[in-house]
Structure 1
Amino acid sequence: MDILRTIAYQPGNNKMCEHAHNKSSETRRAKLEDNSHTTQEMSRIISDSTTGKCYCRGKVLGKGGFAKCYEFTDLGSGKMYAVKIIPHTRVSKPHQREKIDREIELHRALHHKHIVQFYHHFEDKDNIYILLEYCSRRSLAHILKARKVLTEPEVRYYLRQIVSGLKYLHEQEILHRDLKLGNFFINEAMELKIGDFGLAAKLEPVENRRRTICGTPNYLSPEVLNKQGHGCGSDVWALGCVMYTMLLGRPPFETTNLKETYRCIREARYSLPSMLSPQSKHLISRMLARNPEERPRLDDILSHEFFSQGFTPDRLSSNCCHMAPDLQYTSPAKSFFKKAAAALFGGKKDKAKYFETLNKLTKEEEDIHRLRQDLRKACISNPPCRPEDGKPPAALPAKPAAPTNDGGNKPQLRDTIHMIVRGTLGSCSSSSECLEDSTMGNVVDTVARVLRGCLENMPEANGIPKEGLNCGFQWVTKWVDYSNKYGFGYQLSDHTVGVLFNNGTHMSLLSDKKTVQYYAELGQCMVFNTCEAPEQFVSQVTILKYFTHYMEENLMDGGDVRNVTDISRPRLYLLQWLKSDRALMMLFNDGTFQVNFYHDHTKIILCSQSEEYLLTYINEERVSTAIRLSVLLRRGCSQDLRNRMEYALNMLLQRCH
């Protein structure tokens, strides 16, 4: 936890220092003092002689250059605090004590929703105690460590709050000077708070600015390294580094050598991988402009297309601390099923009663017959939009239309789906107990290794090799995301329909429309007839038929692939799916890996065939090209296809985070 770090760095030196001229002796002394401090057993009960309050010291939350931060509980009120404890031995010199006093004086005057609240400070004979707002979700650094990368909606959510707090600071003529993930704290309600004001300072005119090089190396701006001092633009630069790090999991200028890192910063030299959206690339490049005068103001950041053209959730679930969010939105499929239920049962009370008792249905065939009739009525009154020849419809419908094979209308899909949701077969049993699954990891590792090996070794080329192969694999031709209620449904090229339910189980209805395969765990299959479904599976079979009928009546196939059925191949079932705001990823039990891109309905499908991997690309005209990876390795492919393969690999690597 970096709330405590009040450090300065020397250029070209990776060691922390307070004063460069006395670095070595102070470092040795600090270590000795720290060891002495930790060997003494600090009292569990801390008393504030100025107020008479007593606090119980809890677990360590973090530590920094001068101090440690603990969880404190007020024994009178039960209120919890994050308390920064600074031993007097660590601030024995006048300039050290002045630094702490300056931090206290600056922080105590700040009052903003997105600034860590300063409550109180007191001293005893051993320590200085600073009582701060307790943020139970720790920091963005902890979240990113668990997640590896964040989605664009999450990045917008956090950046809005950071900009709000930072704008308040700048209006108070205060520079933070150490903006980084570890200094953004998250409370119980998933609200962000800017903290750690150990390096904060008042904004000074250019000619009066301090030339101290302070902060965290990866986030230092060129003007700070060049000893031109900190300005508002320096905080904006750090914000650009923060945005980059959240999206890609690493800072933009990180290298194995600090001297090289500083060289890259001075030259504003960094890479923008192709998996980033154009809007995010543009905003990052503006914030990381070498000249601070060319960087955007904070208001300009919030009005950028990255925000104006992208979905930002109002709030995030605490689950986002360790997994990608499942954000609610009104999908065309959800709208369709609601209309069908409303037509079937009339009033809201009847509809609610139906959904409540759905899991108790026993007269399955009768219900399906009634539902089919009313689904048909709903389709007539609200015909779905069906793009033809890969072109968008001439006019946008006033209301969400039924999804196409890619889950929605072509032109507006990128604007209506801006989250990542995912499902995993066997992720939990009916009793919500998580299952450890090595098979999933093996499938992912194999596919990722094959795809990465191809990308790293194939040469550049202008076109796509054509082999005229006959394909013997199955792929997803239609899909429906109804995960806000039931699960994710899809149809394979052999007309098998599968649903990966929200409880982690999977059910397939084979092309004969009679045989059901049920998977509660990977590799464990139960087969039964729809007319003889065990009682506990009746409701899931009913929902499976919902999906089947909906896709048959309303969705068109996603492309033209010349399939030759291979009856020797095992039955395909979905292991996991992942949606970003640009594409849908689906991973199957035999390693088949498919990614559908929303904006132009193109797709790539990777599968193994005859002991060799095959990549199939379906272009905007819905025409497919199948290429063996061995051919790609020799002849290469177009940059457009390479970019899609890189994005697909990135989605695959994110699938557990």
Structure 2
Amino acid sequence: MNSNKPVPEPEIIPDFFHDPKSKKRYERGRLLGKSGFAKCFELIDSATKKIYAGKIVNKKQQLPPKHKLMDMTSHEILIHLPLDHKHVVECHNYFEDGNYYAIVLELCKGGTLGELIKTRQYITEDEAHYFMNQLLRELVLKIGDFGLATEIDIDGKRKNKVCGTPNYMAPEILWGEEHGYEVDIWSMGCILYTLLVGHPPFETQSVKNTYSKIKTNEFYVPSRIGPLAGALIIKMLQAVPSSRPNVHQCLTVPSGPSPQQLLRDLDQQLFELYTSKPHKKVPILMDEAEDLAAIPMVWVSKWVNYSDKYGFFGYQLSDDTIGVIFNDLTKLLLHVDGKAIQYVERDGI
């Protein structure tokens, strides 16, 4: 079956961009990412060789009638350019030519949460707890895309402007109601869900269906998600804005097991390991009972705690057995021969 629709030609991005005001020349590097309206490339200053991130917006692209590209780009620049904060990606410059708008940004080499999810599909609950703390406390992560943001000029003032990315947009925005900071808690709930599940809670094949699911609050939390994380997601994604927790309440939700708990669990494992194999015990005569050398002893010779960063606690025993305790309390044991690996469920099976 033949189609009469013209096949769109692939967009050819120029190798160099010229800023007519500063006379700077930027060489286009590798593609860093793309969105519905823009593509982000490395931009290399030809004079200094310093590498930036360049958000490139094609002026000739076709957008829905309600979206005016020039207004959207100007609005983003007006919000982003004056910001000076260590947890906001720095906006260095912007310019345009006949075909493109270009926003020159600080290059963050650590990658993005989106890239992490694409690589890993989803992360552990303790890793998600770590990243949520960064976002809510503004400790390490940087915010960098203000393309669909809005500005609150008076604290407490309610807005009625549609803003935000479709998959993370709160229902009151879609209903055209006035809204405030509660929409950010909703968006953070969507981010938490995405980190743990691998996709946004209301994601569908079309924006229309996504909006419909958001309005009806139609989502579910997979059974593999722990009760604490699942309960927090449900609270953050309440349809009624006033029912959602504030930032402080989100931060006070407990995380997974502490290092002390992991050590106690390790101690219990060692005890069970020792007592479950009586045929391997060295026979002890009563007259030798006071000789410590006659008692087989196993202890932790090395350990490393990555429970917050990567979701596991690793250790090596004095008999060269290596073990890993994951934050969901499942375990992996590498036996002394280096060939046999044993997986242990939460219940010890």
TM-score (ref. length: structure 2): 0.71
1:138 partner SS: coil
Task: Determine the structure 2 residue equivalent to 1:420.
Answer: 311
Distance in 1, Cα, partners of 2:266 & 2:229: 30
Aligned match for 2:329, one of 549, 558, 583:
583
Matches within 5 A, 1:266-305: 266-305=215-254
Task: Determine the structure 1 residue equivalent to 2:101.
Answer: 128
Distance in 1, Cα, partners of 2:150 & 2:164: 12
Distance in 2, Cα, partners of 1:250 & 1:151: 14
Distance in 1, Cα, partners of 2:112 & 2:145: 12
Root-mean-square deviation (Å): 4.4
Matched, 1:118 2:88: no
Measured at CA, do residues 256 and 102 of structure 1 come closer, stay the same or move farther in structure 2, by a change above 3 Å? Answer: closer
Task: Determine the structure 2 residue equivalent to 1:53.
Answer: 24
Matches within 5 A, 1:73-472: 73-90=44-61, 95-165=68-138, 191-203=140-152, 209-210=159-160, 212=162, 214-255=163-204, 261-306=210-255, 420-421=311-312
Compute the displacement of 1:273 (Å).
3.1
1:272 partner SS: coil
Compute the displacement of 1:104 (Å).
0.4
Measured at CA, do residues 127 and 311 of structure 1 come closer, stay the same or move farther in structure 2, by a change above 3 Å? Answer: farther
One-letter identity of the residue aligned with 1:303: T
Instruction: Note the residue ranges of structure 2 that are not aligned, 5 or more in a row.
Output: 268-291
Distance in 1, Cα, partners of 2:320 & 2:33: 52
Number of positions where the alignment pairs a residue of Structure 1 with one of Structure 2: 308
2:135 partner SS: helix
Q: Check the 8 A contact 2:193/2:199 in 1, yes or no.
A: yes
Compute the displacement of 1:165 (Å).
4.5
Task: Determine the structure 2 residue equivalent to 1:625.
Answer: none
Q: Check the 8 A contact 2:171/2:215 in 1, yes or no.
A: yes
One-letter identity of the residue aligned with 2:200: P
Measured at CA, do residues 310 and 220 of structure 1 come closer, stay the same or move farther in structure 2, by a change above 3 Å? Answer: farther
Distance in 2, Cα, partners of 1:69 & 1:60: 6
1:103 partner SS: helix
2:176 partner SS: coil
Measured at CA, do residues 587 and 216 of structure 1 come closer, stay the same or move farther in structure 2, by a change above 3 Å? Answer: farther
Compute the displacement of 1:71 (Å).
0.5
Q: Check the 8 A contact 1:149/1:249 in 2, yes or no.
A: yes
Distance in 2, Cα, partners of 1:300 & 1:210: 26
Compute the displacement of 1:87 (Å).
3.5
Distance in 1, Cα, partners of 2:96 & 2:208: 41
One-letter identity of the residue aligned with 1:583: L
Distance in 2, Cα, partners of 1:259 & 1:46: 37
Distance in 1, Cα, partners of 2:179 & 2:35: 22
Q: Check the 8 A contact 1:286/1:296 in 2, yes or no.
A: yes
Matches within 5 A, 1:619-630: none
Q: After superposition, what is the alpha-carbon deviation per residue over 1:410-440, rounded to whole angstroms, capped at 9, x for unaligned?
A: xxxxx99555349xxxxxxxxxxxxxxxxxx
1:52 partner SS: coil
TM-score (ref. length: structure 1): 0.40
Task: Determine the structure 2 residue equivalent to 1:498.
Answer: none
1:194 partner SS: coil
Q: Check the 8 A contact 1:151/1:580 in 2, yes or no.
A: no
Compute the displacement of 1:130 (Å).
0.8
One-letter identity of the residue aligned with 2:159: R
Measured at CA, do residues 266 and 247 of structure 1 come closer, stay the same or move farther in structure 2, by a change above 3 Å? Answer: same
Measured at CA, do residues 297 and 101 of structure 1 come closer, stay the same or move farther in structure 2, by a change above 3 Å? Answer: same
Measured at CA, do residues 290 and 333 of structure 1 come closer, stay the same or move farther in structure 2, by a change above 3 Å? Answer: closer
Distance in 1, Cα, partners of 2:224 & 2:340: 26
One-letter identity of the residue aligned with 1:287: M
Distance in 2, Cα, partners of 1:254 & 1:233: 21
Q: After superposition, what is the alpha-carbon deviation per residue over 1:48-105, rounded to whole angstroms, capped at 9, x for unaligned?
A: 3323333221122223333322101123333211111223445999943222111101
Query: Max radius of gyration: which structure?
Result: 1
Compute the displacement of 1:249 (Å).
1.7
One-letter identity of the residue aligned with 1:103: E
Compute the displacement of 1:129 (Å).
1.7
One-letter identity of the residue aligned with 2:130: Y
Matched, 1:603 2:333: no
Measured at CA, do residues 578 and 260 of structure 1 come closer, stay the same or move farther in structure 2, by a change above 3 Å? Answer: farther
Q: Check the 8 A contact 1:113/1:165 in 2, yes or no.
A: no
Distance in 1, Cα, partners of 2:57 & 2:202: 32
Q: After superposition, what is the alpha-carbon deviation per residue over 1:165-187, rounded to whole angstroms, capped at 9, x for unaligned?
A: 59xxxxxxxxxxxxxxxxxxxxx
Task: Determine the structure 1 residue equivalent to 2:279.
Answer: none
Measured at CA, do residues 243 and 45 of structure 1 come closer, stay the same or move farther in structure 2, by a change above 3 Å? Answer: same
Report % sequence identity: 31
Q: Check the 8 A contact 1:114/1:161 in 2, yes or no.
A: no
2:53 partner SS: strand
Compute the displacement of 1:257 (Å).
6.8
Q: Check the 8 A contact 1:115/1:165 in 2, yes or no.
A: no
Q: After superposition, what is the alpha-carbon deviation per residue over 1:608-627, rounded to whole angstroms, capped at 9, x for unaligned?
A: xxxxxxxxxxxxxxxxxxxx
Q: After superposition, what is the alpha-carbon deviation per residue over 1:392-419, rounded to whole angstroms, capped at 9, x for unaligned?
A: xxxxxxxxxx78xxxx9xxxxxx99555
Measured at CA, do residues 255 and 106 of structure 1 come closer, stay the same or move farther in structure 2, by a change above 3 Å? Answer: closer
Measured at CA, do residues 136 and 81 of structure 1 come closer, stay the same or move farther in structure 2, by a change above 3 Å? Answer: same
